Amino acid sequence: MTPFVQATPFHVRAAGANRDNAWVTRNGFTLSRVYDDTSEEALSARMRAGVGDISWRWRTMIEGPRAGEFLARLLTGDPMKLEPGASMKALWLSDGGGVRGACALARFGRESFQIVAALEDRDWIAQAASAFSLVPREIESEGGLAILGPYARAALTAAGLEADLEPLAFRKLFWRGLDVTLSRWGEHGGYELWCKDDDGIAVWDRLMRAGAAFGIAPVGLAALDLLDIEAGVARPGRDYMPVREGFAKDPSPLALGLERLVDDNYKSFNGREAWLRSRLVEKRRLVGIAFDGDVPASFTPLLRDGRRVGHTLTSAYSPALRHAVALAQVEVSAVPGDTKLTLTLPPSRDLPELRMADVQVSGLPFLRAPEQIAP
Amino acid sequence: MSARSFDAVVIGGGVSGLACASYLAKAKKRVLLLEARNALGGLCEHIVLGEGFTAPVGAHVLTALDPRVVRELKLAKHGLKFAQRDMALVGLGDRPVTIVRDVPDTVRHIAAHSAADAAVWPRYRNELFSLARTLRPFWWEAKSPRPLPGAALEALERFERLSAAAWLDSWFESDALKATLAFDAGSASFEPGSALQLVWRAAQEMSGLQGAVSWPRGGPAALVAALTGAAKKLGVEIQTGARVARIVLHEEQANGVELASGETIAAPLVFSSLSRRRTLCELAPGGAAGFDALSALPKRGALGEATVLLALKALPNADETSRFVVADRLEAYAAAASAARAGRLPDELVFEFVTPPGLAPPGQHVLSARVRPVPAAMDDEMKTKLGAKLVSALETHKSGLSKQIAAVEVLSPDDIATRYGYNEETDMLADWTTRLMTPIPCLLLCGAEPVAAVSGRAGRIAAALALGAKR
């Protein structure tokens, strides 16, 4: 049975650094929402080096003689063209073409793959895998840290890790007595370091000690989410509810800006027929909106000439851009190119009237991931 | 050698497969019919039960053969004759009750049990038969030409939730009568919706008689022989001993089959007489039907019908023209079902048996019994016990019978399912398109009847659906 809350392997250190005692639960794990100041943490992950706890990611191993065949049917890209040691990004869809999840798929060996995703879909995937006589094995006793920022590589190198990895590559390493996996599956140009539960504290301490010279700092979940918005990545459970019931069509990959994860040359994945149909009729697209002022709640309507053309998803103040940004779903026909839309903000105690604010539609991402500065 | 290619491949040489293949051939398609076993027939197969005895394994009477199949495929010309157009139904409870087609005659029989039941019998029969007549297009046509009358839809809605036991209880007071009639409602006469099975049975037509139960001369195998003759005459190529290993897809469309021998046969249309689950899970490439569709497949029930066959050296005052139901009271069905659900044999077996002519040497007989509900999975010990129990139950009605037994064969529901890919899942209210189409384009089912029965109707409709879509 899953406990109500779970502490990650880094919890002791996170608790020590968490000045405001600000916690949040994600996928059952208790995580630092903010250590000190979200803006500071987001900036350090963009300008210097930051360490975020990502042990909450759902990871499952698909292993067996038919693992490749199963994943080829499950995912929207061809896993068979991955070399062992390589990874790819893909979606998995329901029969109706709705997004059930997005993942990084890493090929560990000929018959061994790992799925890394932001939200679990364990029952459905287990059921699907059973058609191929496979039993997915969830990884439960491994922690993960994201090392972000332009000096991430330098910090890792200083800590004694060989970090010359291309994006989407990963490597198993033996790090002064610890078995770790270093990967680059994330969207923010950084690294992920995966270790056994018991090694969590040692890993944290080594990184912090080696990274001190680069201003390394722990990054809370709020800042990590902010990076997602700046990178234009819609996340399940936060920006959209993935399909959980049978044949649902929504949300479609197009409406979430995830269509680039569907390989057009790949012809045999679950939900493809429905995806081909929905691609023609889906009117909504994921865009970014930038504006000055208050951060609106999710699902705040966006108007154009008085007509509702979409709504916001997650929004936040971006310290790097110095204005508020939000992901939004809008009808594509309503926003040709650079358009201004109107955001309706609900009354607050300070400002009791309904306010209309002008917002600028912008392409995504707002900001590119920082390049690694060679050590 | 280049791969053989056909316009259509039909998997399974039972009545459904043969009918489907014949209809396709009739529409000038080049059809190959593949049967995994060495003989055609599927559930209508007869097995040898010892020297000179043969016995039907699946169906032991015909209740639902589509008259249009008989007529359109000219089965009479190919040798299908009925020895018995309508068999009497005899309930062998504490006191026997006989139900025949003739209403006054039946009323007389029932009156010996209960005057009240005798009085309502004509009304019951009339209501059942007229409801069945109005609902007939719903079960007989791919697309009902006219919408069902409102009253029929209302009745359908009511019957969806009604159990056969409750319905019979609302009409009759005699235990023997209710228990006898309830057998035709299938393995779960206490479950909601089972009353609809009674209506479905009454909506069938055998040799021109509504709701009749017939015995073809030579048994169900004679029907297979006639269908085979018709299929061959129409140009269907038949290959037995050809087990299909998998269905071949091309660009996510069914495009032929690969045999266990390794041979690939190309065909733009593939029909399967196996159940939906077996077709999509075992024959189609893994996951090709869609993961959500696969997890939505109906599960095979835990209950089923066992076959017990006895070869008898003699059977005093044999009645070859009736079928006998052994059930004292309705509660026996509920008790049997709960025992079967717990994986046990019921204390009191509920079964139907026939002793049809023409299966044994002169003077000797085959007794074919269908026991339901029983657990779907049975080990050898349980099967032996079932055989013994059945014989002792029969002994009370036909004393001395146990001394005449030359051979016994017991087949559990799972035995039959494994051997014939038998379709257990039923959805009586789905339309034919949902029932026969699969998520894989160009792959159709041709044996998925609303109620497991020998009919040929699903084959006929599957062929029509495919031909209609092609045009």
Write the ipTM.
Answer: 0.80
Question: Choosing among B253, B283, B291, which should be mutated to test the A contact, i.e. which has the most A CBs within 10 A?
Answer: B291
Of B251, B291, B296, the CB nearest to A270: B291
Q: Is the pLDDT of residue B471 over 50?
A: no
Chain B residue with minimal CA distance to A94? B292
**Chain B residues with beta carbon closer than 8 angstroms to that of A275:** none
**How far is the alpha carbon of B276 from chain A, nearest alpha carbon, in Å?**
14
Chain B residue with minimal CA distance to A73? B287
Q: How far, in Å, CA of B393 to CA of B197, rounded?
A: 26
**CA-closest candidate to residue B330, choices B149, B44, B93:** B93
Strands (E), chain A: 6-7, 22-26, 29-34, 50-53, 58-63, 87-93, 99-109, 112-117, 137-138, 142-148, 170-175, 178-183, 191-196, 217-219, 284-291, 301-304, 307-318, 323-331, 340-345, 355-362
Q: Give the pLDDT score at A225.
A: 92
Read off the pLDDT of residues B26-83 as tens digits, 9 standing for 90 and up.
999 999 999 999 999 888 999 998 888 999 988 899 999 999 999 999 999 999 999 9
Q: Model confidence at B25, in pLDDT bands (50, 70, 90)?
A: very high
Chain A residue with minimal CA distance to B294? A128
Task: List all residues of chain B from 406 to 465 with a beta carbon under 8 Å from chain A.
Answer: 439
**If you average pLDDT over every residue of chain B, what do you get?**
90
Contact A95 B292 (CB under 8 A): yes
Query: Is B193 in contact with B10 (CB distance < 8 Å)?
Result: no
Q: Model confidence at A129, in pLDDT bands (50, 70, 90)?
A: very high
**Chain B residues with beta carbon closer than 8 angstroms to that of A127:** 291, 294-295
Q: How far, in Å, CA of B64 to CA of B335, rounded?
A: 28
**Chain A residues with beta carbon closer than 8 angstroms to that of B286:** 66, 69-70, 73, 131-132
Q: Give the pLDDT score at A338.
A: 62
**How far is the alpha carbon of A318 from chain B, nearest alpha carbon, in Å?**
40
**Chain B residues with beta carbon closer than 8 angstroms to that of A270:** 287, 290-291
- CB proximity B299 to A under 8 Å: no
Q: Model confidence at B106, in pLDDT bands (50, 70, 90)?
A: very high
Of B251, B290, B296, the CB nearest to A270: B290
Q: Residue B139 in 3-state DSSP?
A: helix
Of A132, A267, A273, the CB nearest to B286: A132
**Chain B residues with beta carbon closer than 8 angstroms to that of A93:** none
Q: CB-side exposure of B377: number of CA atoms within 13 Å? A: 5
**CA-closest candidate to residue B376, choices B302, B320, B290, B441:** B302
Contact A271 B251 (CB under 8 A): no
- The two counts, helices (H) then strands (E), for chain B are 16, 22
Read off the pLDDT of residues B246-284 as tens digits, 9 standing for 90 and up.
999 988 899 999 999 999 999 999 999 998 888 998 899
For A252, the enclosing helix (H) or strand (E) is none
Q: How far, in Å, CA of B307 to CA of B420, rounded?
A: 14
Q: Give the pLDDT score at B423.
A: 59
Q: Is the pLDDT of residue A347 over 60?
A: yes
**How far is the alpha carbon of A185 from chain B, nearest alpha carbon, in Å?**
26
> For B189-211, what is the mean pLDDT?
90
- CB proximity A111 to B under 8 Å: no
**How far is the alpha carbon of B295 from chain A, nearest alpha carbon, in Å?**
7
Q: Give the pLDDT score at B222.
A: 93
Contact A95 B439 (CB under 8 A): yes
Residue with tokens 């504490």: B94
Strands (E), A66-126: 87-93, 99-109, 112-117
Contact B292 A273 (CB under 8 A): no
- CB proximity A247 to B under 8 Å: yes
Q: Is the pLDDT of residue A350 over 50?
A: yes
**How far is the alpha carbon of B38 from chain A, nearest alpha carbon, in Å?**
29
Residue bearing the bigger pLDDT, B233 or B148: B233
> For B398-415, what is the mean pLDDT?
89
Angle (CA) B88 B91 B95, round 5°:
130
Q: Give the pLDDT score at B232.
A: 95
**How far is the alpha carbon of B470 from chain A, nearest alpha carbon, in Å?**
20
**CA-closest candidate to residue A231, choices A173, A178, A189:** A189
Chain A residue with minimal CA distance to B295? A127
**How far is the alpha carbon of A76 from chain B, nearest alpha carbon, in Å?**
13
> For B99-111, what is the mean pLDDT?
94
Q: How far, in Å, CA of B222 to CA of B81, rounded?
A: 8
Of B286, B288, B292, the CB nearest to A94: B292
Query: Is A276 in contact with A123 (CB distance < 8 Å)?
Result: no
Read off the pLDDT of residues A46-80 as tens digits, 9 standing for 90 and up.
999 999 999 999 999 999 999 999 999 999 999 99
Cis amide bond preceding A251, omega within 30: yes
- CB proximity A266 to B under 8 Å: no
User: Which stretches within B145-302 are classed as H helix?
Assistant: 150-160, 164-171, 175-182, 194-202, 220-233, 276-278, 291-295
Read off the pLDDT of residues B203-244 as tens digits, 9 standing for 90 and up.
999 988 999 999 999 999 999 999 999 999 999 999 999 999
Read off the pLDDT of residues A185-234 as tens digits, 9 standing for 90 and up.
988 889 999 999 999 999 999 999 999 999 999 999 999 999 999 998 98
Q: Give the pLDDT score at A357.
A: 81
Q: Give the pLDDT score at B470.
A: 57
- CB proximity A246 to B under 8 Å: yes
pTM here? Answer: 0.85
For CA atoms B28, B34, B35, B39, the dihedral sign is: positive
A–B CB contacts, 8 A cutoff, strictly below:
47
Of B281, B286, B296, the CB nearest to A69: B286
Residues 6+ apart with CB under 8 A from A232: A257, A286, A288, A327, A364, A365, A366
Of B252, B295, B439, the CB nearest to A268: B252
The answer to which of A86-95, A178-187, A292-301, B439-448 has the lowest mean pLDDT is A292-301
| Residue B351, φ and ψ in degrees, nearest 5 | -155, 165
Q: How far, in Å, CA of B471 to CA of B462, rounded?
A: 14
Q: Give the pLDDT score at A33.
A: 93
Q: Is the pLDDT of residue A337 over 90?
A: no
Q: Give the pLDDT score at B95.
A: 83
Q: Residue A56 in 3-state DSSP?
A: coil
- Edge-first strand listing for the sheet containing A6-7: A6-7, A29-34, A22-26
> For A100-105, what is the mean pLDDT?
93
Q: Give the pLDDT score at B468.
A: 85
Of B252, B287, B293, the CB nearest to A267: B252
Q: Model confidence at B422, in pLDDT bands (50, 70, 90)?
A: low
Rg, chain B, Cα only: 22
